[in-house]
């Protein structure tokens, strides 16, 4: 049990009741999802959880009915219902595959975020997600890294790039530049090879770019927790950095949910009339490669390679072809998973699930980790193995973490990497 759950007061429950009632005045997409579902079950027929495990609790309509029940009666959930919400609404990866196939176009992820927002207002957001938001608010990045640690990492990576390529490839900080580049802080602190590949790309393309010391991290966990206020606070840092650096383009790196928030949901960077455009590293790189000038040797990446469409880049962002164009230029043997693009299955770690390991006070078999391994991730691992690929590119740190853990859990002979790690290997300087 979450330690906060046992301490809920009557005032807390009244707050939850008010939040549910106020959904009647919420966004139209939320109202439609609450009011017009006919219970046909089409969503269960395409949901990776329901397809893997037929328990009723994994049925999207069943989960959505938890919120609809409270909404229809005009009374918020009690403590016992909240305990179920904490489990069930964090077993939805918000992949939005159900919305693609729903005959009415309803999006269960909208309901999941709304229910999570109620939980968050009561202090019931799972600890890893809540702690990530707290670190971000305190330091401006999800890793909670200090400015000194960031600068040290950047200087170290520049040394690695000089040694690798024999060229003075810089990673500018807080410079005036045409491009402000932002990605997940985990890509810098835990997977720096990806940032090195992006730096190599900008260098060879001759594009003036910079990171912002206060806004290099675009990953936004407010999307996962339903905390719109945090989502806007985090995105305000990106907006301010664009203005301070004079950037004409805000380019988001290999982080699908960062792109989705910045482009469509963040308020500041998705407002009309901005002096800069919001785009992604794949679209930019695909355009540069089409024009020529960068020499790549795909033979340097000979292993059969497939591409995982992150849900936020693919279904929610429409970024599906550009990553493939870059990847095909970098690898000798590219293989598609089936299905792919908009129909792709979630990795099972979306919606913030990838950072959830345990459920407080539960047996190991009921932990979030076991759920991710045995239920939500099984379809993705099967897709990868069926492709015959030895390597899968996962341009999202949550996806990458989830797939790496799946491969380890099932002792699967598959490596996991990012697109720009392969770009860096294929480059002919």
What DSSP assignment string belongs to 143-155?
Answer: T---HHHHHHHHH
Domain span at residue 191? 138-291
Residue 121 phi, psi (nearest 5): -65, -25
Same domain membership, residue 191 and residue 262? yes
Residues 259 and 190 in one domain: yes
- Here the CATH number for the domain that contains residue 25 is 1.10.1060
Answer yes or no: do 22 and 46 share one domain. Answer: yes
CB atoms within 10 A of CB 27: 11
Query: Measured between alpha carbons, how far is 414 from 390 in angstroms, rounded to an integer?
Result: 5
Structure tokens at 144: 């909670």
Per-residue pLDDT of the chain (429 residues; tens, 9 = 90+): 577 777 888 888 888 888 888 888 888 888 888 888 888 888 899 999 999 998 888 999 988 999 999 888 877 788 888 989 999 999 999 999 999 998 888 889 999 999 999 999 999 999 899 999 999 999 888 888 899 999 999 999 999 999 999 999 999 999 999 999 999 888 777 889 999 999 999 999 999 999 999 999 999 999 999 999 999 999 999 999 999 999 999 999 999 999 999 999 878 888 888 999 999 999 999 999 999 889 999 999 999 999 999 999 999 999 999 999 999 999 999 999 999 999 999 999 999 999 987 644 444 455 889 999 999 999 999 999 999 999 999 998 999 999 999 999 999 999 999 999 999 999 976
The CA-based angle 140-146-148, given to 5 degrees, is 130
Together in a domain, 414 and 269:
no
Asked if 40 and 82 sit in the same domain, the reply is yes
The answer on 180 and 107 residing in a single domain is no
Q: What pLDDT is stored for residue 5 in this prediction?
A: 78
Residues 6+ positions from 258 with CB-CB distance below 8 Å: 182, 183, 184, 218, 219, 220, 252
Q: Which two tokens stand for residue 61?
A: 């309509």
In a domain, 132, yes or no: no
The angle at the Cα of 352, spanning 350 to 353, to the nearest 5 degrees, equals 70
Asked if residues 265 and 231 have their Cβ atoms less than 8 Å apart, the reply is yes
Domain assignment present for 130:
no
- Do the beta carbons of residue 391 and residue 303 sit within 8 Å? yes
Report yes or no on 129 lying in a domain. Answer: no
The reported pLDDT for the residue numbered 366 is 56
- The whole-angstrom separation of Cα 148 and Cα 189 is 13
Judge contact between 203 and 167, C-beta under 8 A: yes
- 145 is a domain residue: yes
Cβ-contact 246, 282 below 8 angstroms: no
What's the rounded Cα separation, in Å, for the pair 317 and 384?
22
How many domains are there within the chain?
3
Distance CA 224, CA 129 (A): 8
Per the structure block, which two tokens stand in for 337? 């998973």
Final residue in a domain of this structure, among 291, 317, 345: 291
Phi, psi of 306, deg, nearest 5: -120, 170
Give CA–CA dist 43/25, Å, rounded.
26
Burial of residue 134 (number of CB atoms within 10 Å: 0-12, 13-18, 19+) = middle
In a domain, 131, yes or no: no
> What is the torsional sign of CA 256, 178, 297, 424?
negative
- 291's tokens: 């024009």
Tell me: do 252 and 334 sit in the same domain.
Answer: no
Instruction: Say whether both 285 and 303 belong to one domain.
Output: no
Same domain, yes or no: 106 and 224 = no
Q: What's the pTM?
A: 0.91
For the domain that residue 144 is a member of, what is the CATH number? 3.40.50
Q: State whether 155 and 235 are in the same domain.
A: yes
Q: What dihedral do alpha carbons 214, 215, 217, 221 form, nearest 10°?
A: 100
Q: Considering the domain boundaries, does residue 415 fall inside one?
A: yes
Cα 226 from Cα 241, distance rounded (Å): 24
Q: How far is CA 57 from the centre of its chain?
A: 24
Distance CA 118, CA 20 (A): 8
Q: Concatenated DSSP letters for 264-331?
A: IISSSTTSTT-SSEEEEHHHHHHHHHHH----B-GGGS-S-EEE---TTTTTTT---HHHHHHHHHH-
Same domain, 118 and 144: no
């Amino acid at each position: 049990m979450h330690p906060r759950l046992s301490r809920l007061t009557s005032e807390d429950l009244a707050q939850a009741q008010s939040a549910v009632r106020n959904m009647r005045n919420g966004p139209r997409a939320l109202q439609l999802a609450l009011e017009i579902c006919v219970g046909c079950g089409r969503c269960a027929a395409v949901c990776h959880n329901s397809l893997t495990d037929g328990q009723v609790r994994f049925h999207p309509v069943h989960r959505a009915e938890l919120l609809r029940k409270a909404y229809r009666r005009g009374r918020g959930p009690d403590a016992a219902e909240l305990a179920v919400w904490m489990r069930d609404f964090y077993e939805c990866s918000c992949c939005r595959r159900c919305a693609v196939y729903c005959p009415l176009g309803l999006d269960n992820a909208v309901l999941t975020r709304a229910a999570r927002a109620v939980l968050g207002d009561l202090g019931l957001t799972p600890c890893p997600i809540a702690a990530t938001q707290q670190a971000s608010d305190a330091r401006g990045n999800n890793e909670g890294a200090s400015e000194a640690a960031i600068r040290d990492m950047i200087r170290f990576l520049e040394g690695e790039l000089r040694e690798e390529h024999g060229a003075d490839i810089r990673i500018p900080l807080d410079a005036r530049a045409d491009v402000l580049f932002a990605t997940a802080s985990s890509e810098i602190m835990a997977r720096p090879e990806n940032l090195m590949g992006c730096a190599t790309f900008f260098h060879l393309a001759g594009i003036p770019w910079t990171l912002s010391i206060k806004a290099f991290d675009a990953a936004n966990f407010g999307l996962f927790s339903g905390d719109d206020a945090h989502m806007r606070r985090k995105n305000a840092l990106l907006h301010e950095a664009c203005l301070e650096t004079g950037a004409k383009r805000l380019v988001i790196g290999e982080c699908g949910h960062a792109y989705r928030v910045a482009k469509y949901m963040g308020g500041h960077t998705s407002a009309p009339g901005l002096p800069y455009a919001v785009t992604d590293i794949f679209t930019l790189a695909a355009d540069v490669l089409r024009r020529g000038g960068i020499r790549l040797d795909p033979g340097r990446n000979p292993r059969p390679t497939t591409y995982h469409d992150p849900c936020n880049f693919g279904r929610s962002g429409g970024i599906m072809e550009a990553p493939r164009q870059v990847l095909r230029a970098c690898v000798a043997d590219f293989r598609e998973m089936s299905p792919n693009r908009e129909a792709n299955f979630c990795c099972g770690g979306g919606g913030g699930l990838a950072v959830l390991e345990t459920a407080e006070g539960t047996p190991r078999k009921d932990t979030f980790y076991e759920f991710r391994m045995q239920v939500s991730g099984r379809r993705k691992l099967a897709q990868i193995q069926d492709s015959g690929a030895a390597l899968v590119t996962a341009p999202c740190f949550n996806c990458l973490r989830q797939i790496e853990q799946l491969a380890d859990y099932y002792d699967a002979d598959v490596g996991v990497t990012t697109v720009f790690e392969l770009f860096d290997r294929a480059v002919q300087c």
